[in-house]
Amino acid sequence: MAKTHFDFKQFTIWHDKCAMKVGTDGVLLGAWAPAGNEMRSILDIGTGSGLIAIMMAQKCGADILGIDIDAEAVAQAKENGAKSPWAERLRFEQQDALSFAPEKEFDLIVSNPPFYTEDLQCPEARRNNARHSQALPLERLAANAARWLREGGVFCVVLPAAGADAFVQAAWEHGLDLHKRCQVYSRPETPAKRSLLSFRKGGATYPATERIIIRDDAGNYTEEYKSLTGEYYLHF
C-alpha cells in the first residue's frame, strides 16, 4: 500500500488525496528558498499537499497563500495546514494560476511546477495537471511571477537541469534577473538532475552558482544535503 503521509520534525503532510506526493524536489525547494523574517507575504504556486507552503511557515513569520487548480489537493493542503503549528498564517485556495488575480503583491513566490512536456501522459487527468506543463506553461509562470512580485521580491523554482537555461531566458524577458542557481546531483558522477533557481525583480548582481549532491558513492546522504534539509527531515 502506498504511504498516505510523510512525517517531518514539526509537521505531518498527508498526501493520499493529491495527484503528486511528497518528493525530493519539493523538500529541496522548501529548504533552499530564502524565506527570511523580513518577508511578510509568500505565494506558493501549485501547492499540492501544501508541503512547500508549510515549510515556508516553519522558516519565517510571513503570511502564506498556496494555490492549486486541484480541489482535492487544496482540501488536503487545508487539513495539513490546520494541523501544523502555523495554521493562523497559512491559507489555501483553489485557483488556476493562469487566471489568478491576487489582491496584493508578494515578497516571495515559490513553485514546484508541472514541467514534463513530451513525456507520455497517463490516463488520470489530475496527475497530468500536476506533472505536465500544458496545465501551466513555464513561460506563463515566469510572466505571472514577475507581475505578482513586489519590486525587489524573489521568485524561486525547481526545474529539470536540462531546461533551466531556457527558463532563465524567459524570466529575464519578463524582468526577473537570476541571482542564485543550485545544481542538484543525485550522485557525484551523474549529470545534474535538477536546478534550483532564484530570481529577483528589479535587478540583481551577477548570479551565484552552487551545487549539492544528494547521496555519495556509497548511497548515503551527503553532509551538505543533511545540512540543507536537516530542519525538516526526521531522520537527520
State pLDDT tens for residues 14-52: 999 998 889 999 999 999 999 888 899 999 999 999 999
- Let me know: does 14 contact 30? Beta carbons within 8 Å: no
Q: How far apart are CA 170 and CA 159, in angstroms?
A: 13
Assigned CATH class of 25-113+140-229: alpha beta
- DSSP labels for 21-53? ---HHHHHHHHHS---TT--EEEEET-TTSHHH
Give 77-115 pLDDT, tens digit per residue. Answer: 999 999 999 999 999 999 999 999 999 999 999 999 985
User: Helix, strand or coil for residue 81?
Assistant: helix
Q: How far apart are CA 32 and CA 136, in angstroms?
A: 23
Instruction: Write out 83-123 in H/E/C secondary structure.
Output: HCCCHHHEEEEECCCCCCCCCCCEEEEEECCCCECCCCCCC
Q: Give the model's pLDDT for residue 156.
A: 98
